[in-house]
Amino acid sequence: MEELKEVVEEGSVTEKSTQEKNLETELKEWKDRALRYAAEIENLKKAIKREKEEYFKFALETVFKELLPSIDNLEMALVSCEKSSDIKALKEGVELSLKVLVQTLEKFGLKQFEPAVGEPFHPHFHEALHAEPHHEIPEGGIVRVFQKGYTLHDRVIRPALVCVCQGGPKPKIEESKVEKNSSEENNQDVQE
């Protein structure tokens, strides 16, 4: 019986060592996989960073390609200005170049806006340079526009520079009250 006990104990020890070896092998395999995945993730991060840098480096390439004809036209206008004294033709050329330039920028989402005189001041779209009184425009209205504003895909990238009305016109009710009060004072002076 003791012999049988020893054989059973030896068998269980052998099973344990085999299980331990299997577990160690499996553990090594999982560690190896984890290291490989970590290396793959690190390589992927580096590749994404390189692609992102490359993208930002050349993101505006198409915009610049579209702007080159406008630059060429303006350079030709400068050359023709030296050779010719026809200011009207030069003006038309510059106007056409400006039109093409604005159309090109609009293609990429840039839009200009110019507030109208009398329009209410909006701090998200306008920047007030100074304020001045005006007899026809209500207080807070735009008196003058110094520079157009620009939006890029509905986000203001440069507000319009404006002059805002301070004080505004006096209502006609107040004017009639002032006239009435002054005429009453004159009547009192006459009666005394």
pLDDT at residue 190, as a whole number: 46
How far apart CA 63 and CA 60 sit, in angstroms, is 5
How far apart CA 61 and CA 181 sit, in angstroms, is 71
pLDDT at residue 86, as a whole number: 81
CB atoms < 10 A from the CB of 90, how many? 15
Q: Whole-number mean pLDDT of the chain?
A: 84
Strands of 110-113's sheet in order across: 110-113, 149-152, 155-158
According to DSSP, residue 137 is labeled S
CB 165 within 8 A of CB 120: no
Beta bridge partners of 110: 152
DSSP class per residue in 13-51: HHHHHHHHHHHHHHHHHHHHHHHHHHHHHHHHHHHHHHH
pLDDT at residue 78, as a whole number: 83
Options 3.10.590.10, 3.30.420.10, 1.20.1440.130, 2.30.22.10; CATH of 111-192: 2.30.22.10
CB 101 within 8 A of CB 67: yes
Strands (E) across 90-171 are located at 110-113, 126-132, 142-147, 149-152, 155-158, 160-165
Q: What is the pLDDT of residues 138-178, one digit of tens each?
A: 999 999 999 999 999 999 999 999 999 987 665 555 444 55
pTM for the full model? 0.60
pLDDT confidence bin for 192, thresholds 50/70/90: very low
pLDDT confidence bin for 181, thresholds 50/70/90: low
Pick from 78-82, 97-101, 149-153: least confident = 78-82
